[in-house]
Structures are given as C-alpha cells and as structure tokens.
Structure 1
Amino acid sequence: MAKLLIVEDDESVRTLAARALERAGHIVDVACDGAQGLDCIHAEKGAFDLIVSDIRMPEMDGIEMAQAAAAAFPGLPILLMTGYADQRERAEELDAIIVDVVQKPFTLADIRDRVSLALARTGQSAAAFAGAA
C-alpha cells in the first residue's frame, strides 16, 4: 500500500485511475491540474510515495509541476502520463526527476502495473514512510 497523488485534468481518466489504484490497496488523493497538484504536494509536505501526473494540462502542466515539486521535495518520485509523442520527449529531459512515462491510452491493469513498478524502483511504500515518521 502506498500513498499516491493522481494529477489529471480529464475527470474520467482521473476517476478510473484512482479507482483502479484504490482497489489495488493504495491511498489515493487527486488533483485536476498541475497547480492544484503542487498545492496538494505542499499541503502534505511531500509525503506521497508516488505522484502520477498527466503532462498536458491547463494552468500548469505536469512537467512544470514535476520540476517545482522536485525543487521543493528532492527525491519525490513522479510518474508521468501522456498521449502525445512530443510531450514524452520533453519528459525524457527530466530523467533525474521522472521514474517513468506511461503512454495513453492505457488499461487499468497497465496503470496498476506501472505504478507497482515505479514504487518498486524507488523503494517507496507507505510502510517505509510510516517507519520513517
């Protein structure tokens, strides 16, 4: 079980991903754009095991949010999602910040698997976080 933040402007994608990850046993918070996502990250003092964010969003995109979150909370793992090849290329420049990029559209099993892999790669889990508190 991990504490996740899903940042996605498409309500149907946000809701489906949140439900899939909650059913996998994770605690999930949601935000509808990068600015709201960054507010959530600051409100929780970076205490998320993984941020799962769309890249292309209004107000603040996922890459801007990832850069601001990483500046405030170094080491915070971030998984980006995109349906656009050019956005994926932008994300590749952030290898030090981003743990993976998921191509849209994805199945619910895909997002559960990619989140599990990202958590395993970073060694993050809610249990590890609770032990550090």
Structure 2
Amino acid sequence: MARILVVDDEDSIRSFVHRALELDGHQVTTASDGAEALDKLIAEPDGYELLLSDIRMPLMDGIALALSAARDCPDMTILLMTGFADQRERASDLEALIHDVVTKPFSLADIRGAVDGALESRKAA
C-alpha cells in the first residue's frame, strides 16, 4: 500500500479521509494547511507516493503546495480536492502536474476511487 499525505484545513474532512484510506491499508499522515504539509515533504522528500490536498486553505493553499511539491518531489502523484468551482478552474492550469481534482462533497467510494486511480496512474507511468 502507499504512503499518503492528506492536507485539509477542515478537521472533519481530514479525519474522514484519513480513516478511509487507513482502512484500505495505506499509511496516512495528515497536515492542516499547505505550510505544514510542505514542512513534512521537505523532511521526507521521498516519503510519500501521493499528496491529497484541499485547494482552499489558509497560509499556503493547495495550488502553491502542488507547485512546490511537484518541484521538490517530482515522483509523487498529486491529487487535489475542492468544493469551489473557481478553485477547480484554477487547478486546470496544473494539468501537467496533478492527476485530478476531486469535487467536494464526496462519498467514501468517491475518495477511495480517486486515490486508487491516482495510485494506478503512478504504477503505469
């Protein structure tokens, strides 16, 4: 299974995704904003196969985090999530760097499917 870094400023979403992915056998680490996540990525640049991040967060948003992560951890797959259409549109400029954008609200099956798809694309690359 994969090591996944989940980043969301909403505790309920972060906890929901954390539990769901751990039940699937993944090793999950969480961060509450992009700055905290970037610190974890810098500390372990080869430590994660997947970054799953919200786009709209304080301190450092998911777009800035994705740009930094793609530069510093080029082998890591990046999957973003958002509940805001304008944020999804902003992420469309990152198609070369990110696997996909998951729309909130999502179900357990939705997030599991998105993560599985992102990890499968990593294997195929």
TM over 0.5: yes
- 1:1-133 equivalences under 5 Å are 1-123=1-123
Per-residue CA shift, 1:13-60, capped at 9, x if unaligned? Answer: 000100000001100000000000111111112321100000000000
Cα RMSD, aligned residues only: 1.1
Query: Percent sequence identity over matched residues?
Result: 54
The residue identity in structure 1 corresponding to 2:4 is L
TM-score (norm 2): 0.96
Mapped partners of 2:93, 2:10: distance in 1: 25
4+ runs deviating over 6 angstroms: none
Report if aligned partners of 2:49, 2:75 keep a CA contact under 8 Å in 1. Answer: no
1:93 alignment partner, SS class: helix
| 1:116 partner letter | D
Offset at residue 96 of structure 1 (A): 1.2
Does the 8 A contact of 1:75 with 1:97 survive in 2? no
Return 5+ residue gaps in structure 1 as ranges. Answer: 125-133
TM-score (norm 1): 0.90
Query: Would the aligned equivalents of 1:5 and 1:51 in 2 still touch at CA under 8 Å?
Result: yes
Q: Report the CA distance between 1:72 and its aligned residue.
A: 1.3
| Worse overlay, 38-47 or 104-113 | 38-47
Contact map agreement 1:55 1:62 (CA 8 A) in 2: yes
How many residues are paired up?
Answer: 124
Q: Distance in 2 between matches of 1:95 and 1:56?
A: 18
Aligned residue type for 1:45: P
Over residues 59-99 of structure 1, what are the superposed CA-to-partner deviations in whole Å (9 max), with x where a residue is unaligned? 00000011011111223211000000110011010011110
Q: Which ranges in structure 2 are unaligned for 5 or more consecutive residues?
A: none
- How many Å apart are 1:11 and its aligned residue? 0.1
CA contact (8 A) 1:8 1:57 kept: yes
